[in-house]
């Protein structure tokens, strides 16, 4: 069998046109994002909920500052985790270690009913574990496409679909159970599936061969790179010349820096989802539905839940068919986790249909982002492989403008909210529109940016540079939390519409600037597309 994608022969068996190993990573990342986004959906809501309702009764600004620091630090620790993986552990061992630490973190958070200290210990463990997990799993995905770099954007977009499948299920189930059954049950559920993700990856990692192995034998890594070009000797020589050119490397790192800066602005706006947009959903959006409205929502919610579940289960069956003979235990663990998820989904839907009134959980709106990604990611993947594929900078520009348009919908919907209002009943349609446009923007920026890092950075710096890449998310998330903490003063003095207008204007301006830099950036890439 022709070893087009590296790794073992099993990895050469294609699933939806991509190596089987991509989908091992797909489901590993899916469960990690299930745990992260499930907990993220609950964090601010839990903190601002009154003590009577078993929350902590924090003020909004305090909750959003903690949210900003937490989500920011989650993206800072990959700098350390990427460095340690590059120098000592290797990508795969780092992924397993990170998953284990995050499992312990979620378990600790579930013990918040015993002591508040466990809650903060849990946050710390998740932050640390994510540092080992996030940059290194992306590095493995990038190395699957060493020989076919033109397929990398499409591969990362499929991988990103797995990211958001996990986020969808995590927000849906952890959010629902946390709000309607008990906060610590929601935190516990997040930890259970992080544990499944760790085991599934651990028992299937042999599929990658030497990819992601310990870096102690540097020659083996070099051999892997050379093997990827064994059929084209001239291409190897061109690559070596390229490695010796400090100007080429420097220019490409400048491009990574430019993308990083604009990514900060994107995450600053986008990460309002777990802060100010969650508060908007909780206190300013009409969420109690009766009669036909309640029935329509229940039917829509059922379709919204079941259709993605069917799609993900279908992808699971394809992977199962290709890899079960060699990695049976991993597949059994993965299938078992899906049986549990299906049972929880059916229980939730039956429970909702038994009530005449539909009370939409505040966390529910966050699943729209993941739902739209699951639906539209394959189309974006095909777009990136077509003759109409925009340049990297153009994709960033489109994404930033779309993000701004989403906040424009919220700004318009908020026009009727009086100054200093603590509650309102704005139609849900404006949040739905915001999440739609934000998702379209995200598909143009996040997976594409990750793909470009893997293409522009020399392999020996890859783990570290992915850490630097995620550092931009630290800054963006922290800025998002700080900005959200000013929600009340801005609403009091200028109104809710003005708050969202700020978030509309800045990304749109950034998108225009990025488009103006398009030709300069392409030149600095030195042939990378």
In whole angstroms, what is the distance from residue 372 CA to residue 304 CA? Answer: 10
412 pLDDT higher than 70: yes
What is the chain's Cα-based Rg?
Answer: 23
Which pLDDT score is estimated for 230?
Answer: 46
CA distance 317 to 30: 15
Give the containing element (helix H, strand E) for 15. Answer: strand 14-15
C-alpha 361/C-alpha 297 separation (Å) is 12
- Return mean pLDDT, the chain: 87
pLDDT above 90 coverage of the chain, percent: 56
Query: Does 19-525 carry CATH code 1.20.1250.20?
Result: yes
Any idea what the Cα angle at residue 115 is, between residues 114 and 117, rounded to 5°?
Answer: 145
Give the domain ranges of the chain: 19-525
Q: Could you read off the pLDDT of 156-185 as tens digits, one per residue?
A: 778 878 887 898 899 999 999 999 999 889
List pLDDT tens digits, range 425-442.
Answer: 999 999 999 999 999 999
Q: How many CB atoms lie within 10 A of CB 336?
A: 13
Q: Is 407 exposed, middle or buried (0-12, 13-18, 19+ CB in 10 A)?
A: buried
Helix (H, G, I), strand (E, B) or coil at 498: helix
CA dihedral 42, 30, 221, 229 (to 10 degrees): -130
Please write the tens of the pLDDT for every residue from 27-62: 999 999 999 889 888 999 999 998 888 899 999 999
Q: What is the DSSP letter of 418?
A: P
* DSSP, residue by residue, 102-127: HHHHHHHHHGGGT-HHHHHHHHHHHH
The predicted model gives 325-348 an average pLDDT of: 94
pLDDT digits (tens, 9 = 90+) for 221-276: 445 444 444 444 444 445 447 444 788 888 888 999 999 999 999 999 999 998 99
pLDDT of amino acid 453: 85
How many CA atoms does the CB half-sphere of 217 hold within 13 Å?
9
In this prediction, residue 129 carries a pLDDT of: 94
Token look-up 């290709």 returns 322
3-state secondary structure 256-310: HHHHHHHHHHHHHHHHHHHCHHHHHHHHCECCEECHHHHHHHHHHHHHHHHHHHH
């Amino acid at each position: 069998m022709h070893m087009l994608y590296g790794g073992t022969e099993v990895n050469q068996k294609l699933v939806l046109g991509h190596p089987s190993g991509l989908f091992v990573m797909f489901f590993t990342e899916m469960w990690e994002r299930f745990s992260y986004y499930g907990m993220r959906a609950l964090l601010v809501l839990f903190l601002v909920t009154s003590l009577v309702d078993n929350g902590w009764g924090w003020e909004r600004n305090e909750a959003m500052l903690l949210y900003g620091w937490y989500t920011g630090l989650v993206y800072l620790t990959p700098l350390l985790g990427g460095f340690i993986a590059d120098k000592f552990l290797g990508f795969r061992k780092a992924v397993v270690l990170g998953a284990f630490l995050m499992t312990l973190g979620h378990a600790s958070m579930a013990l918040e009913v015993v002591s508040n200290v466990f809650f903060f210990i849990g946050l710390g463990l998740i932050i640390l574990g994510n540092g080992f997990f996030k940059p290194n799993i992306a590095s493995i995905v990038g190395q699957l496409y060493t020989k076919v770099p033109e397929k990398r954007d499409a591969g990362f977009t499929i991988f990103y679909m797995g990211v958001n499948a996990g986020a969808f299920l995590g927000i849906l189930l952890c959010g629902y159970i946390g709000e309607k059954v008990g906060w610590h049950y929601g935190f516990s559920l997040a930890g259970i599936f992080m544990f499944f993700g760790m085991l599934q990856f651990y028992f299937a990692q042999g599929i990658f061969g030497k990819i992601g192995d310990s870096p102690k034998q540097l020659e083996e890594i070099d051999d892997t790179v050379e093997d990827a070009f064994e059929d084209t000797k001239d291409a190897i020589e061109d690559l070596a010349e390229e490695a010796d050119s400090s100007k080429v490397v420097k220019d490409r790192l400048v491009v990574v820096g430019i993308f990083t800066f604009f990514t900060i602005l994107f995450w600053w706006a986008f990460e309002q989802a777990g802060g100010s947009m969650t508060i908007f959903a909780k206190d300013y959006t009409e969420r109690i539905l009766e009669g036909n409205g309640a029935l329509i929502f229940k039917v829509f919610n059922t379709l919204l839940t079941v259709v993605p579940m069917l799609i993900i289960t279908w992808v699971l069956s394809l992977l199962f068919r290709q890899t079960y003979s060699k990695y049976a235990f991993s597949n059994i663990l993965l299938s078992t986790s899906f049986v549990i998820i299906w049972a929880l989904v059916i229980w939730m839907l039956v429970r909702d249909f038994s009530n005449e009134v539909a009370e939409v959980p505040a966390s529910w709106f966050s699943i729209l982002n993941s739902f739209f990604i699951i639906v539209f990611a394959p189309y974006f993947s095909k777009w990136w492989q077509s003759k109409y594929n925009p340049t990297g900078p153009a994709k960033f520009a489109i994404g930033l403008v779309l993000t701004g348009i989403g906040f424009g919908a919220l700004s318009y919907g908020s026009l009727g909210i009086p100054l200093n209002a603590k509650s309102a009943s704005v139609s849900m349609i404006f949040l739905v529109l915001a999440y739609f446009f934000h998702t379209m923007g995200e598909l143009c920026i996040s997976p594409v940016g990750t793909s470009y890092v893997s293409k522009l950075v020399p392999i020996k710096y890859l783990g570290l540079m992915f850490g630097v890449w995620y550092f931009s998310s630290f800054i963006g998330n922290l800025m998002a939390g700080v900005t959200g903490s000013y929600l009340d003063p801005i609403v009091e003095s200028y109104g809710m519409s003005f708050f969202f207008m700020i978030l509309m204007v800045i990304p749109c301006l950034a998108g225009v600037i990025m488009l103006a830099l398009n030709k300069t950036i392409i030149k600095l890439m030195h042939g990378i597309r």
